[in-house]
């Protein structure tokens, strides 16, 4: 099946071919039990693994996922949450300010994806969480893809933008001694950041109200 364009951000795809940015709804997630005995004996050990379902998005590079070529044995995926679900779990994202900071890419552990409002596929604004990473055998995911029917696929350059945010999350370096900040005081900086999230008309009204005082 050829991909069907749904919007600037998304296309619809069906089949076992995998690419970075593929969205799998209700994808199996396997969790290792916390009480797994370790170290394992030479004979191995038996344990019960939890299996859940979660919307996931493929993070592995598309070039590594080409079927028939020597690539990878496991596919890297990250959880994909609806904005409304994330707002319930994280109070900061329930605020307009928090949503705007996420949209701007100022929350390193999260990446926001646009809503899909096509008549053939509806999905609200979503948040990719880099704080939880899973891997599944590539053949398992190909078979799951084949059985799952139509799915969303993030289009270029939005999938590259996602990959860049994923890389930045792991590239962060905390310096033990940083250069002193030239920025405004903390409260002033926070006020400026909040002003920047407002539309121009509202921002103007707020500034005028402050000047009157």
Per the structure block, which two tokens stand in for 4? 């069907």
Task: Give the domain extent around 133.
Answer: 4-172
Both 98 and 194 in one domain: the answer is: no
Per the structure block, which two tokens stand in for 146? 């084949």
Mean pLDDT value across residues 171-178: 91
Both 18 and 39 in one domain: the answer is: yes
Q: Examine the pLDDT at 182 and tell me if it is beyond 90.
A: no
Both 167 and 196 in one domain: the answer is: no
Both 72 and 86 in one domain: the answer is: yes
Both 97 and 68 in one domain: the answer is: yes
- pLDDT confidence bin for 198, thresholds 50/70/90: confident
Question: Which residue's entry shows tokens 């993070």?
Answer: 59
Please state, in angstroms and rounded to a whole number, the distance separating the CA atoms of residues 79 and 88: 16
Both 198 and 164 in one domain: the answer is: no
Both 154 and 208 in one domain: the answer is: no
* Model pLDDT, residue 190: 76
Please state, in angstroms and rounded to a whole number, the distance separating the CA atoms of residues 14 and 25: 13
Both 95 and 183 in one domain: the answer is: no
Mean pLDDT of the chain: 89
Both 100 and 187 in one domain: the answer is: no
Domain count of the fold of the chain: 2
Both 198 and 140 in one domain: the answer is: no
Both 131 and 194 in one domain: the answer is: no
Mean pLDDT value across residues 167-173: 93
> Would the pTM of this model clear 0.95, i.e. be above it?
no
Both 121 and 30 in one domain: the answer is: yes
Please state, in angstroms and rounded to a whole number, the distance separating the CA atoms of residues 122 and 99: 20
Question: Which residue's entry shows tokens 């190909």?
Answer: 142
Contacts of 170 by beta carbon, 8 Å cutoff, 6+ apart: none
């Amino acid at each position: 099946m050829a991909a069907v364009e749904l919007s600037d951000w998304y296309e619809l795809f069906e089949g076992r071919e995998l690419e970075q940015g593929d969205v799998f709804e209700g994808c199996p997630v396997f969790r290792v039990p916390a009480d797994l005995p370790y170290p394992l004996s030479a004979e191995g050990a038996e344990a019960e693994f939890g299996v859940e379902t979660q919307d996931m998005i493929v993070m592995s590079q598309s070039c590594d996922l080409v079927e028939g070529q020597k690539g990878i044995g496991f596919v890297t995926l990250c959880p994909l949450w609806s904005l409304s679900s994330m707002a319930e779990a994280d109070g900061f994202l329930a605020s307009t300010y928090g949503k705007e900071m996420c949209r701007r890419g100022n929350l390193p552990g999260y990446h926001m994806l646009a809503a899909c409002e096509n008549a053939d596929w509806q999905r609200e604004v979503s948040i990719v969480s880099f704080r939880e990473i899973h891997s599944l055998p590539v053949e398992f995911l190909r078979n799951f893809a084949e059985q799952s029917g139509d799915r969303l696929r993030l289009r270029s350059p939005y999938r590259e933008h996602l990959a860049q945010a994923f890389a930045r999350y792991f590239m962060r370096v905390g310096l033990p001694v940083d250069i002193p900040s030239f920025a405004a005081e903390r409260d002033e900086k926070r006020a400026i950041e909040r002003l920047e999230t407002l539309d121009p008309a509202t921002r103007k009204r707020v500034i005028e109200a402050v000047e009157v005082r």
